[in-house]
């Protein structure tokens, strides 16, 4: 059950990427997240992890990257934190405004475009990423599924031939 804070601690190695996908899949399954939101969350967290592991922790597997999930009233919130010195996000250029956009770093751009809110903390070593998802209500979806099951069960009984 994921109705509370979850934390994933990863080594700063690119081989850790599949663990992020499993983490997001588990959250997506629990909250019945559609494919669009799932894709946005997965890409944003993957890019945040890669930035933290490569730029923050310099791919030092002794240093960890933590990804914390917290459900909030209007959606999902994630925090990605590395053990590096941080950086100034305002110095990262927008790749769409650079002549040679192919050489620009696109991770922060993707994170900002795919999420609803991004806040840099602790000198850039910590990143809060949130997604507003209006349809999140696990209890309501479970209740609706039970009502549908009851409906079909009653309908099946009515349609069965009687023994009279």
pLDDT in tens, 142-162: 666 676 776 666 556 656 666
Compare 103 and 28 and report the one with higher pLDDT: 28
Compare 129 and 124 and report the one with higher pLDDT: 129
Backbone angles phi, psi at 66, to 5 degrees: -110, 140
Q: What is the helix (H) or strand (E) element at residue 36, kind and residue range?
A: helix 35-51
Return the DSSP state at 15: G
The whole-model pTM stands at 0.77
Q: Give the bridge partners for 70, in sequence order.
A: 77
- pLDDT value at position 1? 43
In the chain the domains, ranked by start, together with CATH numbers, are 6-136 (3.30.565.10)
Q: Average pLDDT for residues 100-123, to the nearest whole number?
A: 83
**Residue 58 CA, distance from chain mean position:** 23
CB 139 within 8 A of CB 102: no
- pLDDT value at position 117? 94
Average pLDDT score over the chain: 84
CB 56 within 8 A of CB 84: yes
């Amino acid at each position: 059950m994921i109705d509370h804070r979850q934390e994933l601690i990863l080594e700063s190695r690119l081989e850790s990427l599949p663990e992020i996908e499993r983490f997001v899949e588990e959250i997506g399954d629990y909250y019945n997240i559609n494919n669009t939101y799932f894709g946005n969350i997965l890409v944003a967290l993957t890019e945040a992890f890669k930035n933290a592991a490569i730029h923050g922790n310099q791919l030092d597997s002794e240093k960890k990257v933590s990804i914390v999930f917290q459900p909030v009233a209007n959606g999902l919130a994630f925090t990605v934190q590395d053990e590096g010195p941080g950086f100034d996000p305002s110095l990262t250029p927008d790749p769409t405004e650079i002549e040679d956009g192919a050489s620009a770093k696109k991770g922060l751009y993707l994170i900002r475009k795919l999420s609803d809110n991004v806040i840099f903390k602790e000198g850039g070593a910590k990143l809060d990423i949130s997604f507003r998802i209006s349809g999140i209500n696990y209890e309501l979806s479970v209740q609706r599924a039970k009502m549908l099951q009851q409906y079909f069960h009653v309908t099946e009984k009515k349609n069965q031939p009687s023994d009279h």
